[in-house]
Amino acid sequence: MQVSVETTTGLERRLIVGVPAERIDSAVDSRLQEAAKTVKLNGFRPGKVPMKVVRQRFGQSVRMEVLGEVMNESFQEAIQQQGLKPAGRPEIEPKNLEGGKDVEFVATFEVFPDIELKDYSGIVVKKPVCEISAADVDTMIENLRQQRASWEAVERPAQEGDQVNIDYVGTKDGEAFEGGSAEGSDLELGSGRMIPGFEDGIVGMSAGEEKVLALSFPEDYHSEELKGAAVEFKITVNAVKEKKLPELDEELFKAFGVEEGGEEAFRAEVEKNMSREKKNATENRVKTQIMDGVLEAHSDLQVPKALISQEIDALRNQQMQQFGALAEKINPKDIMPDELFSENAERRVKLGLVLNEIIAQEEIKADQAAVKAKVEEMAESYEDKDEVIQWYMSNPQYLQQIEGLVIEEAVVEKLLEKSQLSEETLSYQELMSPPAPAESDDASED
């Protein structure tokens, strides 16, 4: 077998493979002889069909079948011979398939890049330091009460924070416009759901009262017809309700899994959950900074387009799951083009390749004690922890995912040892909020 390889552009390779005719002809003859033992044709007893007839009837189809198999086999042999690592499927183009002559084909494909790991001492990491105060716990408990609030009808004018049930009709130049009317619609005043002035105009109205509001749509409104348009809304208030927060009592505590111990036990459980969230948020911030630093260090690394394309498809499929059964009737690329995912996909592919190289060179493996500890940590948020632990430990597929997390954490720790680490004091609210984007060094006013 003759093999030559060319570098076309970047990571693309062009492999030219020549396969001796004897290899093809021998395989075709062997397969035809096997077929002759069982083939059935009118006028012949089974197994007694002459080879000449078998070759006439089946020779061409068998040859094409053999050619496909031999080209695939030859491609695998050729890349092993040349020490190549293809990324994605090759495009195979036959050049000469004529019977009795050597077969030649060209395989075009991308290869995995050679990764030279960089120096990570320049990565700057600010590790959040956060103390959970009694006031933080109070705020969280208030948020939990807000989540379980109910609405009770009141006989007074509406105030900000109330919920009103309204009918409204919107008109532009005296004509109702699409989407501008509703009946029996609930609206929390101050929520910002409606255009400016709409909710403020209802404040002070009582059940049974009507009012006409003269308003304008914002200049950046999504509808071209209504951008900046002057409109009127005729509003009828059907009911006014105020928010009723649940008491700090046994009923509320039980709703959050605290069966005994009263308010003290409830506060302790809330703080325990906040501590778990604090730990996760801290680790995520550190990990994000480490990964950003790794990507910056390897910013010039070329990655195979085939892998990016695969990652784009995976990200798009994840998004399509939100459409449920409707997803089967939609062409995903029509509503989610490749461009929507390309940047994130390239980032993920590049990061995956570099991390795999770090794992290989540092010989990082998933320590089983660490895997079990991670499973136990994840089970903490469930009522029956032992059942969750048993489920994970007996499920190889999900256990493999946990092992991946443990390896990733080990990589972060390894890189953290080489980075410039400092601490940053944050409040609980600051830690749990998305980090502000980094300011550009060359930012300036025009």
**Segment 165-180, tens digit of pLDDT:** 999 999 999 999 999 9
In a domain, 208, yes or no: yes
Task: Say which residue the tokens 């029996």 belong to.
Answer: 184
Number of domains in the chain: 3
| Residue 281 maps to a domain | yes
The answer to whether position 116 is within a domain reads no
Whether 238 and 276 share a structural domain: no
Angstrom distance (rounded) from CA 370 to CA 411: 13
User: Does residue 14 register a pLDDT over 70?
Assistant: yes
Are both 271 and 417 inside the same structural domain?
Answer: yes
Report the CATH number that the domain containing residue 285 is assigned in CATH. 1.10.3120
Is residue 24 in some structural domain? Answer: yes
Residues 200 and 273 both lie in one domain? no
The span from the first CA to the last CA of the chain, in angstroms, equals 66
| Residues of the domain holding 70 | 2-111
Would residue 372 count as lying in a domain? yes
Give yes or no: residues 228 and 267 share one domain: no
> pLDDT tier at 437 (50, 70, 90 boundaries)?
low
The confidence score (pLDDT) of residue 444 equals 38
231 and 272 co-located in one domain: no
> Are residues 154 and 73 part of one domain?
no
| Separation CA 53–CA 56 (nearest Å) | 5
Which residues does 147 contact at the CB level (< 8 Å), separation at least 6? Answer: none
Whether residue 143 lies inside any domain: the answer is no
Residue 391 near residue 370 (C-beta atoms within 8 A): no
Q: What is the pTM of this model?
A: 0.75
Domain-located, residue 120: no
- 218 and 157 within one domain: yes
DSSP, residue by residue, 303-363: --HHHHHHHHHHHHHHHHGGGGGGGGGS-HHHHS-GGGTHHHHHHHHHHHHHHHHHHHHHT
SS3 assignment, position 127: strand
Residues 51 and 161 in one domain: no
Reduced to 3 states, what is the DSSP secondary structure of residue 344? helix
| b/e sequence 157-174, b meaning 16+ C-beta within 10 Å | ebeeebbbbbebbbeeee
Could you read off the pLDDT of 388-427 as tens digits, one per residue?
A: 889 988 888 889 999 999 999 999 999 999 999 999 999 9
User: 430 or 28: which carries more pLDDT confidence?
Assistant: 430
**Is residue 439 scored above 70 in pLDDT?**
no
Q: Are residues 298 and 217 in the same domain?
A: no
**Residues 297, 413 share a domain:** yes
Q: Provide the CATH number for the domain around residue 175.
A: 3.10.50.40
Residue 263's nearest CA partner among 428, 145, 429 is 145
Q: Specify burial of residue 5 (Cβ count, 10 A radius: 0-12, 13-18, 19+).
A: middle
436 band by pLDDT with thresholds 50, 70 and 90: low
Q: Which of 45-54, 98-107, 200-209, 328-337 has the lowest average pLDDT?
A: 45-54
Residue carrying the six token digits 């062409």: 331
Residue the block writes with tokens 């703080």: 271
